[in-house]
Amino acid sequence: MVALRLIPCLDVAEGRVVKGVNFVGLRDAGDPVELAYRYSIAGADELVFLDIAASHQGRETLVEIVSRTSRAVTIPFTVGGGISSLEGITELLRAGADKISLNSAAVKHPDLVKKGAERFGSQCIVVAIDARRRNLGSSGWDVYVKGGRENTGLDVLMWSKEVAELGAGEILLTSMDGDGTQAGYDLELTKAVSDSVGIPVIASGGAGCIDDIRRAFVDGRASAALLASLLHDGVLTVEQIKKNLLSRGLNIRPIDD
């Protein structure tokens, strides 16, 4: 059985790690290279580095920061934000990324997912989906792009199935409603997507305690849990989370592995 993963997320804007609530009200959370190193030696299974303003501002990911961050870690490292071409993917992989996360570009050019998977392998291509629950009276979730600023009108479940068929190796699923609230992951959303596709799903948005993480794995059927505020603010450590989940019978990789 593949081990469940804990993945700290570094949302970066203007060279600094930031954190907000529901994608707004961003506050400074530290230096990306320092945090990446800290989480790497702390026993995190992977890292995600997202230049969250790249697509909105129409610029490419900060390759120099990616390069320095990659040299600071010894664990797999996903990079996303403003990537819109095979050349952009190549540049970031050469800068040290292990995987590339596509969001807005995947919606605009779905063929980029297919071509990226064919050229670099499905294991390198992650599709990030920012989901927001529809208004009362209508069920389901819509896909948002450009840092959560634009509703595409795409249905999250249909889009998830499409990107899996295109060759994506993994889905990074963020609940915009839960982002930064520490009220728990959207388990209904996570389970619905996990049950719809045959590829791993990373739950993101809303972790407030260890039990939220456990439920994302057990009830949401996620393969990994993305963590930000809990770790950045020092509420919990990777070691504390892993020890607790291991004691409760979850298949988590121990720190000393």
Catalytic residues: 11, 130
Between strands 224-227 and 201-204, the pairing is parallel
88 — phi, psi (to 5°)?
-65, -40
Beta-bridge mates of residue 170: 126
109 Cβ neighbours under 8 A, 6+ residues apart? 84
Q: Give which of 159, 161, 28 is closest to 104, Cα–Cα.
A: 159
Please, what is the Cα angle at 41 between 37 and 44, to 5 degrees? Answer: 95
Q: Using an 8 Å Cβ cutoff, are 89 and 127 in contact?
A: no
DSSP alpha helices (H): ranges in the chain?
32-42, 54-57, 63-72, 86-94, 104-108, 111-120, 156-166, 187-196, 210-218, 229-232, 238-247
11 Cβ neighbours under 8 A, 6+ residues apart? 17, 18, 19, 29, 50, 52, 228
- Residue 4 belongs to what H/E stretch? none
The one-letter code for the residue type at 165 is: E
- HSE at residue 147, side-chain half, CA atoms within 13 A, is 21
